[in-house]
Amino acid sequence: MCANCRGAAARVKPVIYVVATAIKHGKGGISTALTSIIEALESQGERFRVVESHQGSASRWQSFRKAQRALAQATDGDVVWLHGARWLSLLRKYLLARGPRSRGARTILHIHGIEAIHYLQHPIGRWLMQRLVNRYDGLVVLTPWWRSQLLSKLSYPAERIHIMPNTLDRSLLALAQSEPKPPIEANTTPIHLLCMTRLEAGKNVDAAIATLRFLPPQYHLTIAGDGGQLESLRQQARELELGHRVDFLGWVPYEDKNRLLSRMDLFLLPSELDSFGMGFLEAMAAGLPVVGVAYGPIVDVVPTEAGKLVPTPSPELLADAVQHVFAEHPQRSAFAQRYVLETYQAELAVQNFLEFCQRLR
């Protein structure tokens, strides 16, 4: 090959293979969080391909085989960026990464599920996680808390762990740039609290419902999400005689989220299960002050000026925090929007990630 041809080939950008659940249409934080990343890759002219490891009604085996065929094109210099959460997801990504890695592609695992931290608390889980991460050229985590946890439990080079928070997509960016919410009158009826999450153990939605017992009657709670606890939460609301103050919306499609956020006043999610809490980011973009629990990565995501985090998911503590935040609603609302605009821009996050990929060479 002539020198000019070699130089031209060297300047060709690598292909970035983004391996994850269906973007926008999947249920869960990974699907939502990656929307802004894909937009930023497009706007920056990067060569990339989305490889869906979960594809709607298709079986997991069918999805796996289809993803494997797509990744057969990944070769020397390319980047295979795999997004996973729980064990089965992490195992599938590990298997998908083997072929591209053997052909010289850089493989990077982006860990999204808090379950990965739970695995590290047990010797067998820690051993398995160590073997898994050893097979990757780099790791991506969501906050500084995550990085410190991995470094304290695993033997892995610190320079190969990159922090990349979830970011604002274009619709959330527009929401964060909209006019601040007007002050709420103290006698407003009702005051709308939003709890938007999967309905499962650890999210503590039951504590959010019980919080209404310690709040004046004008406070109403809207629960957006579905999951295994839906019926038990409905039953709890009836037993506490709070059914008239709690609305269950079910799962809210991606395209309807911003309209829902715009109708709400405060965001209440006492979760101790989130790996980042995309819901917190969405709420702050909409100017909703946040009330949650000071758990792990959530402390990295929600600044004190944008809300209030309590030490435990106690309904009494949560109710006090709601009223405290309500009293300072205009300041906290405006700060929340400014903060996310300054901190969670997708273009900067993607640029930092690409520089990390270059260092891995």
**What is the CATH classification number for the domain harbouring 292?**
3.40.50.2000
Q: Nearest CA to 333 among 178, 166, 143?
A: 178
Give the C-alpha separation, 252 to 197, whole Å: 10
pTM, two decimals, is 0.89
Task: Clarify whether residues 93 and 153 are in a common domain.
Answer: yes
Task: Clarify whether residues 209 and 257 are in a common domain.
Answer: yes
Task: Clarify whether residues 12 and 154 are in a common domain.
Answer: yes
Whether residue 132 contacts residue 107, with contact meaning beta carbons closer than 8 Å, is answered with no
One-letter amino acid for residue 300 of the chain: D
Task: Clarify whether residues 15 and 32 are in a common domain.
Answer: yes
Helix (H) or strand (E) holding 246: strand 246-250
Task: Clarify whether residues 309 and 349 are in a common domain.
Answer: no
Task: Clarify whether residues 105 and 248 are in a common domain.
Answer: no
Q: Please state the domain count of the chain.
A: 2
Task: Clarify whether residues 266 and 245 are in a common domain.
Answer: yes
**163-189: buried (b, 16+ CB within 10 Å) or exposed (e) per residue?**
bbbbbbbebbbebbeeeebeeeeeeee
143-152 long-range contacts, CB within 8 A, separation 24+: 143/276, 143/297, 143/300, 143/301, 144/300, 145/296, 145/297, 145/299, 145/300, 146/111, 146/117, 146/275, 146/297, 149/117, 149/120, 149/296, 150/120
CA 181 to chain centre: 24
The pLDDT of residue 172 is: 92
Instruction: Considering only residues 25 and 68, tell me which one the structure prediction assigns the higher pLDDT.
Output: 68
Give the C-alpha separation, 43 to 52, whole Å: 21
Q: Which residue has the tokens 């999204």?
A: 112
Task: Clarify whether residues 325 and 180 are in a common domain.
Answer: yes
> What is the greatest pairwise CA distance in the chain?
80
- pLDDT-derived band at 57 (thresholds 50, 70, 90) equals low
- pLDDT-derived band at 31 (thresholds 50, 70, 90) equals confident
Q: First and final CA of the chain: distance in angstroms?
A: 23
Question: Tell me, what DSSP letter sits at residue 168?
Answer: B
What does the pLDDT average to over 215-220? 95
Whether residue 311 contacts residue 294, with contact meaning beta carbons closer than 8 Å, is answered with yes
Residue 283 sits in which domain range? 171-343
Give the C-alpha separation, 89 to 92, whole Å: 5
- pLDDT-derived band at 63 (thresholds 50, 70, 90) equals confident
Task: Clarify whether residues 186 and 118 are in a common domain.
Answer: no
Task: Clarify whether residues 205 and 103 are in a common domain.
Answer: no
pLDDT digits (tens, 9 = 90+) for 200-217: 999 999 999 999 999 999
Residues 6 or more apart whose CB falls under 8 angstroms from that of 337 comprise 176, 177, 178, 180, 284, 285, 287
Q: Nearest CA to 204 among 185, 188, 183, 227?
A: 227
The pLDDT of residue 1 is: 46
pLDDT at residue 8 is higher than 50: no
Give the C-alpha separation, 201 to 115, whole Å: 13
The pLDDT of residue 361 is: 73
**103-116: buried (b, 16+ CB within 10 Å) or exposed (e) per residue?**
eebbbbbbbbbbbb
How many residues are present in the chain? 361
Task: Clarify whether residues 11 and 109 are in a common domain.
Answer: yes
Task: Clarify whether residues 24 and 51 are in a common domain.
Answer: yes
- Percent of the chain residues topping a pLDDT of 70: 93
